[in-house]
Structure 1
Amino acid sequence: MTRPPTNTIVDAHLHVWDPARGVYPWLGPALAPVNRTMALPEVLPELGSHGVGAVVLVQSADSDFDTDLMFETARSHRQVVGVVGWVPLDQPVAAAERLARLRDEPLFAGVRNLIHEQPDPQWILRRDVDAGLDLLEQDGVPFDFVAAGPLALATAAEVARRHPGLRLILDHLGAPPLDTEPGQAQPWLRSLAVLAGHPQVYVKISGLYLRSDSDGNGMRRARAYIGEALELFGPRRMMYGGDWPICLLHEPYGRTLDIIRHGLPDLADADRDHILAGTATRAYRIDPQRLASATA
């Protein structure tokens, strides 16, 4: 695949949603700033000001309507270069039928389920879900894995062991404990090291919320966590994600990008290009012509 032009930035983790179109069970008054329609035009000025030329839209609800909304958004905005949608992994027959339709969409880039919202933390390891993951592995479809702590990372490692051919993309750096010094976060680091041993596992640098960080310690710890992941995975298996609009619950858009740009000053330009665009382009098999059009 053609490499993206130098200085291209792909935000590999951005959401849109519309509560008028369907139900988002996790959304409600407690999340008031984003408890409304969040459409791509709202964030386009921020993307432009941070030099982000292309985005991958990632699912927000375990329903077809959410995936359909993302494709509608993509048809109206050239900045969208990929869509990570939803299929019912626990219903393999229905999942196969939905995958067949999604493959007709040129921008279909992968699948995600809100596994962190499931009552059963081991849901992803159930036999019926495992059969759904078999479909993704056989079809070469990436799977975004939402991790919410060390137990989830261990579960992700088991998924990678069962499905060595599945391109598994770990969201939000595997949720490192940012309020803890990296040297004390051994469960996170051990699980991440196990995942790094599976060559088809990738990591998104996303969801690293520092909030006010008045003393700069949050930024320092975030840099250290990214550095630990970089040692394990290398830049060719790491990608940037801004996590808009969830990020607005904590801080303005672009803080994670600032960590990458300014927090890793010793990173070679080519390695930084991998993290900011190249890895996402390869992992999601983004069409180079669509990417060129988005960033023209």
Structure 2
Amino acid sequence: MIIDAHQHFWNLDRVAYPWLTPDQGPIHRTFEEGDLRPHLDACGVDGTVLVQSADSYADTDFMLEVADRWPRVRAVVGWVPLTRPDEAAEALDRYRRDPRYAGVRHLIHEEPDPDWLLQPVLRDGLDALAERGLTFDVVAVLPRHLEHVPMLAERHPGLRLVIDHLAKPPIAERGWRPWADLLARAAAFPNVHAKVSGLNTAADHGTWTAADLRPYVEHALELFGAERLMFGGDWPISVLAGGYRKVWNETAKVLDDLALTPGDRARVLGGTAADVYRIPGPARPGAVPTPA
């Protein structure tokens, strides 16, 4: 089973997305399953993890509605108000009645305070996630965001943390530090995982190729191993820099260049996501991505 571990839907008529303004160009419209289906079919992707796009109950409810009508949504990473821990705990108990509700994310990169994750009030909310076996996806866009991950991992050892988009390495600038060192510190904690996703929009939007991504993916593999790393298409954000099929094809080239074993390839392309988000069914051994 090949699983895309990071993908979005949004409906501009149903949900407010404060960040999604007309200047976003081609992604400033509604995206739902009819738009994604042909891409998954072409790339041989069996299922997807739907990830929140707004810090609201409305967005989470919308995603679960999509999952009701489209079984290829295998898990949903939603939202609850972690800064209001009592309310968050009640919401989690309500949402987790649906086995597809797998975890929580907050758009911390939209918060004006880069130290938002350090608020003492978040401790109870994150503990509530750990107690219920749910994950927390970390949107680490700034180095400061990534600095906080080891602290969270140490303070909440029972919480599965997922770093989205490898914390946006400086690919376009061909940079390395402090990203590489900060990622290493985070990976030292066994409850931290990461997604090979969103790298195309961290690179030059018009010219990027597998060669641009390779050193960053290779570093992540050395740190996390395939058992804590997972592929994500980051669609429809990926439309801004090549689209779904280019992301799939160029990621496949990176995995080929790095000569992953069939077992490790299967982990990155589905097995890790199935474990982290508790998706039923084993990943297909030796799954090999085919060009789309």
Give the structure-2-normalised TM-score.
0.92
Count of residue correspondences: 279
Deviations 1:225-246 (CA, angstroms, capped at 9, x unpaired): 0000100100010001001111
Is the Cα contact below 8 Å between 2:3 and 2:49 reproduced in 1?
Answer: yes
The answer for the alignment partner of 1:179 in structure 2 is 172
Which residue of the other structure, out of 151, 169, 177, is the alignment partner of 2:144? 151
Counterpart amino acid of residue 238 in structure 1: L
The answer for the alignment partner of 2:270 in structure 1 is 277
Counterpart amino acid of residue 240 in structure 1: F
DSSP-derived class of the 2:178 partner:
helix
Partner Cα distance (1:34, 1:40) in 2: 15
Is the Cα contact below 8 Å between 1:84 and 1:112 reproduced in 2?
Answer: yes
Deviations 1:184-228 (CA, angstroms, capped at 9, x unpaired): 512111111111110010000000114222xx6x53231110000
Q: How far apart are residue 263 of structure 1 and its match?
A: 1.5
Is the Cα contact below 8 Å between 2:54 and 2:107 reproduced in 1?
Answer: yes
Unaligned runs of 5+ in 1: 1-7
User: Where do residues 185-204 of structure 1 align in structure 2 (5 Å cutoff)?
Assistant: 185-204=176-195
DSSP-derived class of the 2:121 partner:
helix
Partner Cα distance (1:9, 1:32) in 2: 30
The answer for the alignment partner of 2:252 in structure 1 is 261
Is the Cα contact below 8 Å between 1:149 and 1:176 reproduced in 2?
Answer: no
User: Where do residues 212-223 of structure 1 align in structure 2 (5 Å cutoff)?
Assistant: 212-213=206-207, 218-223=209-214
1:115 aligns with 2:70: no
Partner Cα distance (2:245, 2:84) in 1: 37
Percentage identity across aligned positions? 45
Counterpart amino acid of residue 144 in structure 1: D
DSSP-derived class of the 2:49 partner:
strand
Give the structure-1-normalised TM-score.
0.90
Partner Cα distance (2:77, 2:112) in 1: 23
Deviations 1:37-82 (CA, angstroms, capped at 9, x unpaired): 1111111001110111100100000000100111110111111100
The answer for the alignment partner of 1:84 in structure 2 is 77
130-139 vs 104-113, greater mean Cα deviation: 130-139
The answer for the alignment partner of 1:3 in structure 2 is none
Which residue of the other structure, out of 125, 136, 140, is the alignment partner of 1:132? 125
The answer for the alignment partner of 1:141 in structure 2 is 134
Which residue of the other structure, out of 210, 226, 231, is the alignment partner of 2:222? 231
Q: How far apart are residue 153 of structure 1 and its match?
A: 0.7
